[in-house]
Each structure stands twice: as C-alpha cells, then as structure tokens.
Amino acid sequence: MGYFASYDGVELAYRLVGDGTPLVCLPGGPGRAAEYLGDLGGLDSSRQLVLLDPRGVGRSSDPADSATFRVDRLVHDVEALRTHLGLERMDLLAHSAGANLATLYAAAYPERISRLILVTPGLAAIGVDGDEDEFIAALERAAAEPWYPAARAALEKIFNGDLSIDAFRASRPLFYGRWDDAARAHATVGVADRHMAARLGYFAEVNLDSSAIHSALTKLTAPVLLLVGEADPMVTPAMAHAAARVFNDAKVVVQARAGHFPWVDDPAGFAAAINSFLG
C-alpha cells in the first residue's frame, strides 16, 4: 500500500498489484474502494496496476472540505497521483462512474495521457444518455430469473433516491452477465457506509458543460478504448459508439455475455481485450 499527499494535503492511498508498466486505475461507484477491481481479470500478469482509493474511501483519508468530493475537483487528485508516481505520461483505466473523472482529467491534461481505457463507462461528462427502452429491455432479459423481482424493486428504490447499502446489495444481480458464485462474492467488495459522503458528493452541484468538455477533448491525441458488456443495462453498445465519436482516436469493444463488471463475467476475455489495446 502506498500513500501520498494530494494538492490540499489530504492523504490518499493506492495499492500496487503486479509488475510491469504502470496502469493507473480509477474505481467507480461512485464512492467504492478500488479493491473491487481486484486484478482486473489477470491484467496484473502484464501490467502493474495502480489502484487508487478516492478521498473518503477505503484507506484514503476524509477531507475537511466536502466540496472536494466533487468529480471535477477529484481531477486534482489524479494529477497529484501522476506526479507522485513520477510519470510523464500514463496509461489510465477507469470503470463506471470513474470514467467521468478520467474524461475530465483527459480534458484538463490531454498531454499527460498515453492511452485511455473506459470500462462500462459513465458518460455524463460528455452528455451521452441512454435510451429508456433499451435500458428496460436489457433489464428484462433476466426477467425469468428467481431473483429478478426483488432486484428490480431495489433498483427502482435507488432511482427514487434510496442510496442505502441494503438497496444496493439487493439490486446487484442485474449488473452481472450471470449471477453465480463469483458475482455474489464480488458484489459488495469495496462498499461501506463510511463511503456515503464521497458517493453523495461526487456529482453534488457539479456543472458538467459537455460542449466545453468536447472542445477540450479535441486536444487529446491518445488512443481511447471503450469496453462495454453486451448485457449491461447501464451502458449499452449504442451509448459506447455515440461516446466514441467525441474522441479523436477511439474504438469500441463489446464483450459478449458480460454485464457491468466484465472482468468478473469473463476474466480471460476482458484481459485479452485490454492487453490487445495496450499492446
């Protein structure tokens, strides 16, 4: 476990997994400790994963100013980590909500990124929204499963403002390609009541000007990979293809039979796709 002081003195933690060229990894949630990323399907066999715990999450300290939980302010933490690691440019991977942070970082520091990987990414920063009919259709693919009614009811509670751990746990089967032992073991890793402030603060009073972000991203020359799961209701292949058009050099990979956590559903397939992109 490594630690560093960010721009405002808050001590942040990161974990190093594997050997090789560093791959800086930003977790999603928001407000989820990076331990749920694991070894990203075995990527640690070819790269050294730098797994950052956001402020107020996991082993990182709580800030005195709750406004610093905002995703646009967290960009400064990512830059502080790059400086701490001594990297002139870095390969950056982000999952889910963390992809909004990675996108904002790329807009602010395009010259500091060598490759950008967005996994089942949150796309609010670039103004790409999902289609409600596609979302419902994706959910209903699992309608015959015995766990479906309870999981769907929990998801509705979340959409209506219930951010409790209980609602989160009950909704989890909807986000995996299959609800097996591996998915059950993974579902709540990195989740804790303490993280709620970071979760609530992530988008609090944030003004994401997608037009300005699009303009800033024209300076990003690094190649971008958007990897999505075929069965993920949150980020569909259509959304990924729409997002790819925002970047200068982007490709989309759709992982078959995978949900929102594709490295859990098919570790080898996920690692192969990422390694192919990274070279």
- Residue 164, pLDDT > 90, answer no
pLDDT of 174 reads 96
Residue 77 pLDDT greater than 90, yes or no: yes
β-sheet bridge partners, residue 3: 13
86 is written with which tokens?
């001594």
pLDDT digits (tens, 9 = 90+) for 129-152: 988 888 999 999 999 999 999 999
**DSSP class of 213:** H
Q: Which own/partner contact pairs does 251-256 have at CB distance under 8 Å and 24+ positions apart?
A: 251/223, 251/224, 251/225, 251/226, 251/277, 252/225, 252/226, 252/227, 252/228, 253/225, 253/226, 253/227, 253/228, 253/277, 254/227, 254/228, 254/229, 254/230, 255/227, 255/228, 255/229, 255/230, 256/230
pTM over 0.95: yes
Q: How is residue 13 written in tokens?
A: 């933690």
- Which residue type is seen at 262? P
CA–CA gap between residue 80 and residue 98 (Å, rounded): 16
The string of pLDDT tens digits covering residues 199-215 is 999 999 999 999 999 99
The phi-psi region of residue 100 (left if phi > 0; otherwise alpha if psi is between -120 and 50; otherwise beta) is: alpha
Domains and CATH numbers, the chain: 2-133+192-278 (3.40.50.1820)
Q: According to the model, what pLDDT value does residue 163 have?
A: 81
Report DSSP state, residue 143: T
